[in-house]
Amino acid sequence: MTEVMTDWDVGVIVLLLPLAAAMVVFQDNPYHALVVRGILGAIAALVYALLGAADVALTEALMGTMLGTALSVVAMRSSLVLRLGVLATEVAAPTPEFTALCEDLRRGIAPHHLRLEVVPYDDCAALHRALVERDIHGVCTRSRAAALHGPVCQYATVLRVSRLYEILRAAIASPTMHLIYGADPEKVVLVDPVADPFNSTADQADQSEGLVPQEPH
């Protein structure tokens, strides 16, 4: 350290580092924590440059702050998500019940900092294939009986991830939605009740192992 700066000056600047670190620790939203991690990186670079390690400061700014933050936010964006497969017709012309259901789902997963991504598929076969291939975490279709009874649409959501099922089960008590846990996606039978409410596939589906979308009891 040169004679220009006293130990007191250096001490005050170095104290910013634990302060910023404490700020990172006390953030509960991961995205907020990442932004505050950027602040920590900037202050760390200042401290390293102050103590004479200019190369370390440059590495901290380039790798720690820029690359680390950018990669973390991309990883977080693709992992902290609930991908819900639906039929394309639902997205093209959403019913008020479907919109309310999406809002309910968003509200249910928001405390865990997850976001909802609705993925449209053309038909039930594509939807089922996506569920089996683990491309999506769950599917949401209209209940078969809803097509038979009355104007109110009812939806059944089949989730293949048990933790997501627990979270949503505790958070959501919507009368228009029925949650089902499908541990084995292969056994989930999806029918398109709007296209053909009386077809034989639906009757066959009722006999499978309780994994078809059913009416709440």
Partner 1 sequence: MNWILGAMVLATLIPMYAACQNQDIWQKMLAFASIATKTSVAIIVISVLQDDWFIGMVGSIILSVGNASLMLLAQVLKRLNQTNPGY
Residues at the interface with partner 1 (CB under 8 A): 2, 4-6, 9, 12-13, 16, 19-20, 23, 29, 31-32, 34-36, 38-39, 42-43, 45-46, 49-50, 52, 54-55, 57-58, 61-62, 65-66, 69-70, 73-74, 77, 106, 110, 115-117
Instruction: Decide if 104 contacts 82 (C-beta within 8 A).
Output: no
Of residues 123 and 135, the one with the C-beta less far from partner 1: 135
CB 135 within 8 A of CB 100: no
φ, ψ for residue 51 (rounded to 5)?
Answer: -85, 5
Q: Cβ distance 204 to 144 under 8 Å? A: no
Q: Look up residue 2 and give its amino acid.
A: T
Q: Which is nearer to partner 1, 168 or 205 (CB)?
A: 168
CB of 104 to partner 1, least distance (A): 14
C-beta separation of 136 from 85 below 8 A: yes
CA 88/CA 139 separation, integer angstroms? 12
Gap between the Cα atoms of 197 and 61, Å rounded = 60
Helix H or strand E segment including 130: helix 124-132
Closest to partner 1 by CB, 10 or 130: 10
CB nearer to partner 1: pick between 43 and 159? 43
For partner 1, the closer of residues 36 and 101 by Cβ is 36
Q: How far is the CB of 61 from partner 1 (least distance, A)?
A: 4
Minimum CB–partner distance for residue 109 and partner 1 (Å)? 10
Whole-number minimum distance, CB 49 to partner 1, in Å? 4
Q: Which is nearer to partner 1, 94 or 197 (CB)?
A: 94
Cα 88 to Cα 126: distance, rounded to the nearest angstrom = 11
Least separation in angstroms between CB 185 and partner 1: 25
Q: How far apart are CA 97 and CA 1, in angstroms?
A: 67
Q: How far is the CB of 99 from partner 1 (least distance, A)?
A: 14
The whole-angstrom separation of Cα 162 and Cα 125 is: 23
